[in-house]
Amino acid sequence: MAGFTQIRTLPGHPGTRRTVVACLILAVIVTVAGCGGGPPQREQTALPLKLRQAQKALEQGNDELSTKLFNSLESPEQPLRVRGLARLGLGRLALRKGELDQACRHLELSRKFLSSGPHHARALLFLGEAQLRRGVTNSGLNQLEKAYQSLADPDDRSRAAFLITRTLDHLGQPVAALYRNASQQHSYPEYASIWGADSQPLEITPRIVEEPTPTSRVTRIANPARIRVQNRNSWSARPPRRGAVVRMTRPFRITVHNTADQPAIEKLGQQSPPQYLRRIQEYCTDTLKWGDIGYHYLISFDGRIWEGRSMRYQGAHAGNNSLNRGNIGIALMGNFDINRPTSLQLKSLRSLLAALCTLHDISPDSIAGHQELRETTCPGRHLQAALNRMVKDLARSPARSRTR
Ligand SMILES: [Zn+2]
C-alpha cells in the first residue's frame, strides 16, 4: 500500500466546509441586498413600445395581433434582447397552438439571444414544457432544472418545480425535496396531457448496453460513435458493496478529474491499468468504506476507456452528495498540474464526452472540470485548459443532436 496515501485526495478533495461557509455568507449578502426579486423596473420601461404592446396582446389572448407585432420585431437590425423577447413571445404562441416543433425553434433562439437573466430562464421554462410535450423528456428536464435556478417570478418557479416533479414521478425516478416542496401547493391542470394517455410515450433513459455474453470484456455505449469501454470484467472488478451505493438519478452533468497519484501508482497505471484499477477500488472500498470505486469512467495513458462504478449507481467523485447527484465522473489517469495528458487520452475523452452528451441529452455547458465545482486543483491546469477548449468545440459541433 506504499504510496497510496496520496489517493486520499483523489475522491474527496479538502475545502468543502470553507466553500459551504463562503456560499452561505454570499447567500446572506445577496438576500440582504435584495437581489433575486423580479426584473428591475427600468428593464421593463426600456423595452420598445411595440414589444410591450405585443406582450400585452399575448396576455389578453389576442394571438393575431401579438403574432404580427412579435414578427415585426424579429429582424436582424433589432438588438439581440428585443429579438430574444420576440422569439419568446412567438414560442409561447406556438406552444399555445400545439405547434411544438415551431415552439421549440423559437424558444431555442430566444434562449440563445437572451444569454442570461430571468427572461433567459423563462425561455428555458417554456422550452422545457415544449420538449416534455414532444416526448424529449431528458432535455426538457434539463431546461427546467436550469430555469428553476434563475426564474424571478414565484409562479414560474413553482411551474418549473411542478413539471420536474410530475415528470420524474411519472418516470419512477427520485425527486429532490427542493422541487417537491416548491410544487406542493400548486396544481396546473393545463399540463395534465403531458403525462396523460393521449400524450406521446415518454422516452426511457438510455443506459449502457452490455455485450451479449456476460464474460465479455468490452462494453459499447449505445450511440452512433460506438465508443468502446473496457468493462468491469476486463479488470476483474469486485462487485459493489450492496447497501453502500445509491441508485443513479437521471444524469444531467459531467465532471472531469485527474487521479493525481504518487509516481509509483502512476507507473502502475502506465504498466497495467487493470491492476491499477483494482488498487483504487481496494482503497475506496476497504479504507474509505465506500461501496465501490468512485468514478464512472477512467481513461488510461494509452487512451483506453475503463468502466469504473456502474452507471446504475451515483458516483463518489465531486465532493458531496449534492454535487454527485446526476453527475457522471470521468477521471484521466495522471497528475495534470505537472504533466500534460497524452493525445490518446484527450482523443478518448472527447469521444466519451460527445457520446455521453448525446446518449443522456446533456448540454456541453454542463461539463465541468472538478475545480469549477469546488475548491481543488483537480483536474490539474493542463487538463483544465484542454477541457475548456474541448467543451467550446463540442458546443459548436453539428454532429451532436440536442433533441434527437
Ligand atoms: Zn477531482
Do 216 and 157 reside in the same domain of the chain? no
250/376 same-domain check: yes
State pLDDT tens for residues 34-74.
233 333 334 444 788 889 989 888 887 888 899 999 999 98
**Domain assignment of residue 81, yes or no:** yes
Those residues with Cβ within 8 angstroms of residue 77's Cβ, 6 or more apart along the chain or in another chain: none
Whether 211 and 347 share a structural domain: yes
Q: What is the CATH number of the domain that holds 185?
A: 1.25.40.10
Cα separation, 219 vs 213, in Å, equals 10
**List of residues 6+ apart from 117 with CB closer than 8 A:** 39, 150
- Residue 331 alpha carbon to ligand 1 centre in Å: 8
Contacts 24+ apart (CB under 8 A), 349-353: 349/256, 349/299, 349/387, 349/390, 350/390, 350/393, 350/394, 351/225, 351/227, 352/221, 352/227, 352/297, 352/299, 352/305, 353/254, 353/390, 353/391, 353/394
Query: What pLDDT score was predicted for residue 149?
Result: 82
Separation of 309 CA from ligand 1 center, angstroms? 15
Nearest 5°: CA angle at 376, between 373 and 377?
115
Identify the domain boundary among 166, 195, 224: 195
**Least confident segment among 1-10, 41-50, 134-143, 278-287:** 1-10
Select from 156, 175, 195 the last residue of a domain: 195
Predicted confidence at residue 240, as pLDDT, reads: 95
d(CA 48, CA 54): 10
| 191 and 285 part of one domain | no
pLDDT at 336: 96
**Whole-angstrom Cα distance, residue 351 to residue 361?**
15
Q: Is residue 25 part of a domain?
A: no
Residue 115 lies in a domain: yes
User: Pairing state of beta strands 367-369 and 218-220?
Assistant: unpaired
CA angle 280-284-285, nearest 5°? 120
218-220 and 228-230 beta bridge pairing: antiparallel
Residue with the three cell numbers 420576440? 86
Per the CB < 8 A criterion, the answer to whether 66 and 57 are in contact is: yes
Residue-wise pLDDT tens digits, 185-204: 777 778 888 887 433 333 33
Task: For helices 118-134 and 100-113, give the axis angle rounded to 10 degrees.
Answer: 160
Q: Is the CB of residue 301 less than 8 Å from the CB of residue 342?
A: yes
Residue 42 in domain: no
Tell me how far the alpha carbon of residue 388 lies from the centroid of ligand 1, in angstroms.
16
**Ligand 1 midpoint to CA 378 (Å):** 5
pLDDT digits (tens, 9 = 90+) for 312-335: 999 999 999 899 999 999 999 999
Q: Which of 174, 195, 216 is the last residue of a domain?
A: 195
Has residue 260 been placed in a domain? yes
What confidence tens digit (pLDDT) does each residue in 72-130 have? Answer: 998 888 889 999 999 999 999 999 888 888 899 899 999 989 988 889 999 999 999 99
In a domain, 97, yes or no: yes
How many of the other CB atoms lie within 10 Å of CB of 253? 20
- Amino acid, single-letter form, for residue 124: L
Distance CA 56, CA 195 (A): 31
Per-residue pLDDT, 248: 92
**CATH number (domain holding residue 255):** 3.40.80.10
Output the CA 12–ligand 1 centroid distance in Å.
Answer: 7
> Cα torsion at 193, 204, 396, 257 (round to 10°)?
130
Cα 229 to middle of ligand 1, angstroms: 21
Query: Over 60: is that where the pLDDT of 20 sits?
Result: no
Q: Are 334 and 345 in contact (CB under 8 A)?
A: yes
pLDDT for res 365: 92
Bridge partners, 255 (sequence order): 329, 368
Alpha helices in 98-211 (DSSP H): 100-113, 118-134, 137-150, 154-171, 177-183, 192-195
Q: Tell me: the pLDDT tens digits for 149-162?
A: 888 888 898 899 98
On whether both 236 and 318 belong to a single domain, the answer is yes
Q: Are residues 220 and 364 both part of a single domain?
A: yes
Predicted confidence band of residue 306 (pLDDT cuts 50, 70, 90):
very high
Region 133-144 average pLDDT? 84
For residues 190 and 231, state if they share a domain: no
Tell me the mean pLDDT in the region 364-374. 95
| Number of domains present in the structure of the chain | 2
Distance between Cα 376 and ligand 1 center (Å):
7
What rounded mean pLDDT belongs to the chain?
80
Q: Confirm whether 257 is domain-assigned.
A: yes
pLDDT tens, position by position, 199-228: 333 333 333 333 334 455 666 555 445 688
- Determine, yes or no, domain membership for 141: yes
Give how far Cα 325 sits from Cα of 86, 248, 316, Å.
36, 7, 9
Structural domain containing residue 135:
47-195
CA of 344 relative to ligand 1 center, distance in Å: 20
What does the pLDDT read at residue 75?
A: 86
Q: What is the pLDDT of residue 225?
A: 55
Same domain membership, residue 340 and residue 214: yes
Residue 383 Cα to ligand 1 middle (Å): 11
Separation of 255 CA from ligand 1 center, angstroms? 8
